[in-house]
Structure 1
Amino acid sequence: MTYFADLSSRQVGALPDGPRVPVLLLPLGAVEPHGPHAPLATDPLISRGMCERAASRLAADDDVRVLILPEIPYGVTRFAAGFAGGIHIGEETLHALLVDVGSALIGQRLPRILLVNNHFEPAHLVTLRRAVETLNFAYDGHVALLDLVRRRHAQRLTEEFRSGECHAGRYETSLVLADRPELVDQVVMRELPHVPVSLASAPEDGGFLEMGMSDAYCGKPAEATAAEGEETFSVLTDLLVEAIRELARA
């Protein structure tokens, strides 16, 4: 079984004493607008897709038992203010939720938890990093974040991702096309012009509208393809498998 919540209580209780090291993946993201063409759930959809692919790749591994926790789809998303569909939760709410979930698992001798995130708003990322620190120092966990914006990870991803023009652009839209193509309005997508806005230059007190993203996207979604999405998912899965193995050794 791949999904943690599909197990019985007895099966979970046996995990720490099993022959393989259990590593729990927690998919994260935000429910927020992704242009006029892509679903609100783009971020958690990508995180879940990464987790499923990594769990499948390691299903027969002799050393690691990978299980996917129920995802947390809500995040810090002030950038989405002014658009329909954005569901923002505050930093302290997200931090408390992650710490409560993590400490509950650590208390059951399941300390290896890997946060898998695809929502890159700076305040959201800061909160995730802080939650990892809290769980490791206050609760003696072995918790990690696969932080895709770190240079060593980003340099392995697409040019658009590295440029910061990747909110609902070619990068993210390609991933959704690879996983859930029926959720993308491809007729609208093909007509969208390039929006040359980098999230790396986002103002601290602004959002999509202030950045010039009048349709809540940047980059070049019209160029998105399922083939590119599959390629990117393969790289993302490589990164995640590497992080899982590193955490298993902790």
Structure 2
Amino acid sequence: MNKEIDLSVSCYGIVKDLKYDLAILPWGATEPHNLHLPYLTDCILAHEISVDAALLAKERYGVRCMVMPPISMGSQNPGQRELSFCVHTRYETQKAILTDIVASLHMQGIRKLVIVNGHGGNGFKNMIRDLSMDYPDFLIAVSEWFAVLPAKEFFDNPGDHADELETSVMMYYHPELVNLDEAGDGNYKPFASQALREKVAWIPRNWQKVSEDTGIGNPKLATAEKGKRFANAVVEKYALLFSELAGGDIYQ
């Protein structure tokens, strides 16, 4: 797809006379990703997926989306903020950021927003519920791009952080940012509690007790071909979502 069109160019001269059906907000974090991926991996991948999905939505369904700059303020687990240049952003801070974005878009006449989340530690549901009370005519949807489709159908041994999935998709979009020779094995320690492993309950993992290289899952089997296949399948799902949200009533 050709990215040299208005959907991916943040220039007021282009957008000021156009009507947009919805806004797309990539949201990630600033954190280490094993030893071989950039700190902004979650932002980069959420943005690339969003742009490709917006392009496909325009070409296939005639839906015009504005992909906004990614937000790099993510929520971290214990043991992560101690790592060099890892930034933990509190719930209240994230909610304030989202509230200001929604208020700005609402003032401009935009009424639909999709958050494409690239960081598993982020949680937006309660924020969205609150904002739906303050802006009852504003629709906000949220999705984790990496969880749209079952990872096991595309990868040999997926984990959940800087793993084969994230590494493969980064190799597809930005191979210059990946050096697998530098990657750690992504070995990690699961909870000792069987109940916690079975997700009877949830507690945050202490990252420094769980992983030595900040990875969860071995990235060594990653390839650009796997990343392309998964990314393109996710983009297809998002393009359809954008077209359906841009339509009329979301209820039957």
Contact residue 152 and residue 158 of structure 2 kept, 8 A: no
Aligned equivalents of 1:148, 1:197: Cα separation in 2: 25
Q: Distance in 2 between matches of 1:145 and 1:232?
A: 19
Partner residue, 2:38: 39
Contact kept in structure 2, 1:168 and 1:218, CA below 8 Å: yes
Offset, 1:107: 2.1
Identity among equivalent positions (%) equals 24
TM-score normalized by the length of structure 1: 0.82
The structure 1 residue matched to 2:11, chosen from 6, 16, 34, is 6
Counterpart amino acid of residue 141 in structure 2: A
Structure 1: distance between partners of 2:115 and 2:91: 16
In the other structure, the counterpart of 2:3 is none
Q: 1:30 to 1:228 in 2, by over 3 A?
A: same
The one-letter amino acid paired with 2:72 is P
Cα 1:62–1:82 shift into 2, 3 Å: closer
Q: Secondary structure at the match of 2:21?
A: strand
Equivalent residues in 2 for 1:19-58 (5 A)?
22-58=21-57
Q: Is the contact made by 1:160 and 1:219 (CA closer than 8 Å) also made in structure 2?
A: no
Change in 2 beyond 3 A, CA 1:96/1:78: same
Preserved contact between residue 39 and residue 183 of structure 1 (Cα < 8 Å): yes
Paired residue for 1:213? 211
Structure ranking higher in helix proportion: 1
Task: Give RMSD over aligned pairs.
Answer: 2.8
Matched residue type, 2:77 = R
- Which residue of structure 2 lines up, in the alignment, with residue 132 of structure 1? 128
Alpha-carbon shift at residue 78 of structure 1 (Å): 3.0
In structure 2, the CA distance between the partners of 1:3 and 1:149, relative to structure 1 (3 Å rule), is closer
Query: Paired residue for 1:167?
Result: 161
Structure 2: how far apart are the matches of 1:223 and 1:163?
Answer: 8
Conservation of the 8 A alpha-carbon contact between 1:163 and 1:198: no
Distance in 2, matches of 1:147 and 1:169, equals 16
Matched positions, count = 234
Q: Which residue of 1 aligns with 2:187?
A: 195
Residues 28 and 71 in structure 2, CA contact (< 8 A), matched pair in contact too: yes
Report the Cα distance in structure 2 between the residues aligned to 1:63 and 1:103, rounded to whole angstroms. Answer: 26
Look up the match of 1:176: 170
Supply the distance in 2 between the matched residues of 1:236 and 1:149 (Cα, whole angstroms). Answer: 8
Q: Which amino acid aligns with 2:51?
A: E
Q: Does 1:72 align with 2:71?
A: yes
Find the residue that maps to 2:51 and give its secondary structure: helix
Point out where structure 1 has 5 or more consecutive residues left out of the alignment: none
Partner Cα separation in structure 2 for residue 244 and residue 198 of structure 1? 37
Distance verdict in 2 for CA 1:230–1:188, change over 3 Å: same
**Structure 2 residue ranges without an equivalent (≥5):** 1-5
Question: Could you tell which deviates more after superposition, 53-62 or 235-244?
Answer: 53-62
Give matches, 1:92-111, under 5 Å.
92-111=92-111
Report the alpha carbon displacement of residue 147 of structure 1 after superposing the two structures with TM.
3.8
CA deviations 1:72-95 (Å, max 9, x no partner) are 111112342322121111110001
Return the alpha-carbon distance in structure 2 between the equivalents of residues 134 and 163 of structure 1: 38
